[in-house]
Amino acid sequence: MQNKLSIGEMAKLRSVTVDTLRHYDKIGLLKPYHIDPDSGYRYYSIYQYEVLGTIKELRRVGFSLEEIKQFLSNRNVKKSVQLLQKSMVNIQGKIKELQDIHNTLMARINNIENFTNCYRNADIVIKHFEERDYIQFDRPVSWEDKENLYFGFLDLENRIGGTIPVLASNKFGDFIKKEYFDEIRQSSDFPRNLSAYESQVFILVQDEESKQPTQKIEKGLFICSYHGGLVREKMLPQLKKLLHYCDTHGYVIIGDALRIMQVDVSLTDKYDEAYYEIQIPIQEKVN
């Protein structure tokens, strides 16, 4: 046989592995042109070089091995065009999926940078937020009940089915009830029995399609600050500081506070770098 190539030579020419060629032989996709009856060595024809190239290209654009077998069997232009058109549909779907992931990651990066920059000169700032939709967990969670807190996060994540885990985004939060504020203001020390306090866990619904009814956080002004660490004990001093700021600067609190996870432990091993932002809805006093 002239121009015969060993399995190793064919593999090297097309930058595939010998095991790949053996697998293609086993499933009948690309069988050797000749097998030596004495040694059992596989040999390929130089003319099979282009066939192997076609297989590689079809794999690259998303064809399964079974689809490639169909493509290479009894080929004609009409059949080949139909298979290529089917592949184009699959590719367009993958492009959209990757674009969605790209947009999500860019939004995540921008949010972290904006969050960091807005507190560069002060740890208390006033922000305006547009109306926000959210879904909340079906029952309140005690401040000490970390197990149910994370169960609530998981339940909410599954409801919106995000392509990237929402724990890596600024969507999770909980409401801190306004009814607790007077006790926090007046306390010289913060409550030791945190189990007496409850909050409502929620997830903001932004670009996702929710099959469940959503509720709304009204647009308006919010006085904001942040704290590091995942435990609520870290939150209490900063919340008290915000309440004092409102009392001394003429702001009226008009609703429950929001505590939103801005940087979570999926991005850092250091718990003090896991930041929550506290947002309290306010309006200026009318004299």
pLDDT, tens only, 69-115: 888 887 788 887 888 888 888 888 888 988 988 888 888 888 889 98
- Shared domain check, 39 and 180: no
pLDDT at 8: 93
Closest to 136 in 3D by CA, of 106, 111, 173: 173
pLDDT at 187: 72
Report how far apart, in Å, the C-alpha atoms of 245 and of each of 154, 199, 278 are: 35, 23, 13
Cβ burial 127-148 (10 Å sphere, 16+ → b, else e): eeeeebebbbbeebbebbeeeb
Beta bridge partners of 277: 226, 260
Task: Report the share of the chain in percent with pLDDT over 70.
Answer: 87
Q: Per-residue pLDDT for 211 more than 80?
A: no
What SS3 state is found at 25? Answer: helix
- Shared domain check, 231 and 150: yes
Q: Per-residue pLDDT for 167 more than 60?
A: no
Q: Tally DSSP H helices, then E strands, for the chain.
A: 8, 13
Residues 6 or more apart whose Cβ sits within 8 Å of residue 176: 199, 235, 239, 256, 257, 258, 259, 278
Per the structure block, which two tokens stand in for 66?
A: 């079974």
Q: Rounded mean pLDDT of the chain? A: 85
Domains held by the chain: number = 2
Spatial separation of the C-alpha atoms in residues 102 and 80, rounded to whole Å: 32
pLDDT at 9: 92
Which range (134-138, 161-165, 264-268) has the least confidence? 161-165
Task: Report the share of the chain in percent with pLDDT over 90.
Answer: 34
User: Tell me, what CATH number does 64's domain have?
Assistant: 1.10.1660.10
The residue from 15, 42, 75 where one domain ends is: 75
The residue from 75, 96, 112 where one domain ends is: 75
Spatial separation of the C-alpha atoms in residues 287 and 285, rounded to whole Å: 6
Are 263 and 275 in contact by the 8 Å Cβ rule? The answer is yes
Q: What is the pTM of this model?
A: 0.69
Domain annotation covers residue 173: yes
Per the structure block, which two tokens stand in for 119?
A: 């507190």
Are 199 and 174 in contact by the 8 Å Cβ rule? The answer is yes
Residue 36 domain boundaries: 4-75
- Shared domain check, 127 and 27: no
Q: Per-residue pLDDT for 2 more than 60?
A: no
Domain annotation covers residue 253: yes
